[in-house]
A = this chain, B = another copy of it.
Amino acid sequence: MNINSNDFKDIDPGDRVLMGPGPSNVSARVLQAMSAPCIGHLDPYFLLIMDETQRLLKYLFQTENPFTIPVSGTGSAGMETCFVNLIEPGDEVVVCTNGVFGMRMADIVKRLDGKLIQVDGEWGRAIDPEVVRTAIRGKNPKIIALVHAETSTGVCQPLKDIAHIAHEAGALFLVDMVTSLGGVEGAVDSTEIDVAYSGTQKCISCPPGLSPVTFGPAAINALESRKSPIVSWYLDMSMVRSYWGSERKYHHTAPINMIYALREALRIIAEEGLEARFARHQLNHRALVAGIEAMGLSMFVPEPERLPSLNAVRIPEGVNDIKVRKALLTDFGIEIGGGLGDLQGKIWRVGLMGHSSSRKNVFLFLSAIETILNAEGAKITTGALNEVSALYANT
């Protein structure tokens, strides 16, 4: 256990262009806010920052839900928070699975002794509301859960029809907004979402470490009328509420500096405005797709179901996935993601999230991938960037 402190150098991650499935690039303003001096979790100044963070989060989720807070863990902690607070053993829970994150939800439901009703969908396609309607016939689900933005496939799930089906069945509508919140329209109140969670490192462009959640009135009611204890102490929202609420009752020490960072990232979002931000994500997505298709490559997800924040591109026949991604990282400093599970080696996942969703990054990625694929001897149509320039010029 001896150690030589000279073996360790200063932290210096270099200059990465983060165009993978998250984290996205974090702006200097957010990094600076995060490095403000740490103070106590009950300091009057920190309580003010908590209030402001909640106000800004409500704006971001487009909700009036008073219980809208950042959970002290990454996105998956937010997922677990929603289920662990709302499921009691034996509760029927519908989970729509058309990618890795739906599967993760199903896994969590089983661990919590929920009666899982799994609605399997094709990976790379949205879930058909009629399949959900059929699946719950004769059942009494407490929750219908799905993923708004499937990070593993690049699918954007339409929400309204399934929200309607959930409420007709008397169920809570629970939505994973990890890769949509702050980049893709998905207003909690007007869409009638009862409970949702997200992560900070995607379209919010704050470092990973927090998970914004919002619980609407029906979810709070389910929480308050539980008969069995919440199995997690750390994620027990009935107690965490007393800290984020007016009582300010100590539960666990909040991750102070991470909340500084989130508060600044949310302020940047408020400055841009949600409408402009969603439009920016759409535009850069359309430009990327235009370039990809002009090059002769194709998208994995059909056009109306594509997510602007995560673009799944089919890897051309005969091209070495790992080699291309390594060249992107080494020669250009660009990180993109590979496929997960069965999609490994079949798709690339190109993120255009938050601060990373920019015209600059679209051009950089397209020119880099064109160069690398040319060097690999792949059949690429040249001149794609002209199409992309034209698209930006006409918008």
A-to-B contact residues, CB < 8 Å:
1-5, 8, 10-16, 18, 20, 22-23, 25-26, 31-41, 43, 45-46, 49, 52, 55-56, 58-59, 62-64, 72-77, 79-80, 84, 104, 107-108, 110-112, 189, 199, 201, 207-209, 229-234, 250-258, 260-261, 263-264, 267, 270-271, 329, 335, 340
Contact = CB atoms under 8 A, between A and B. Distances in A.
A233 to B, nearest CB: 5
If over half of A's interface residues share one DSSP class (helix, strand or loop), that class is named, otherwise mixed; here it is loop
A40 B56 CA distance: 26
Contact of A20 (B40, B62, B74, B80): B40
Contact of A232 (B18, B33, B111): B111
A150 to B, nearest CB: 15
Given A23-B41, A229-B110, A231-B111, A36 B55 contact: no
A97 to B, nearest CB: 15
7 contacts: A8-B267, A13-B43, A34-B257, A35-B35, A72-B77, A73-B77, A75-B252
A394 to B, nearest CB: 30
A255 B209 contact: yes
A258 to B, nearest CB: 5
Q: Which 6 A-B pairs have the closest CB atoms?
A: A209-B255, A35-B35, A5-B270, A76-B252, A31-B35, A207-B257
A1 B190 CA distance: 12
A111 B56 contact: no
Nearest to A257: B207
A382 to B, nearest CB: 30
A33 B55 CA distance: 29
A232 B233 contact: no
A33 B18 CA distance: 19
A229 B45 CA distance: 42
Nearest to A187: B1
A255 B259 CA distance: 13
A108 B229 CA distance: 11
A260 B31 CA distance: 12
A184 B263 CA distance: 35
Contacts of A74: 72, 252-255
A378 to B, nearest CB: 24
Contacts of A43: 13, 16, 329, 335
Contacts of A56: 3, 8
Contacts of A13: 36-39, 43, 45-46, 260
Given A1-B62, A36-B11, A40-B18, A72 B75 contact: no
A22 B40 CA distance: 7
A39 to B, nearest CB: 5
A346 B41 CA distance: 21
A14 B5 CA distance: 32
Contact of A233 (B31, B62, B104): B104
A209 to B, nearest CB: 4
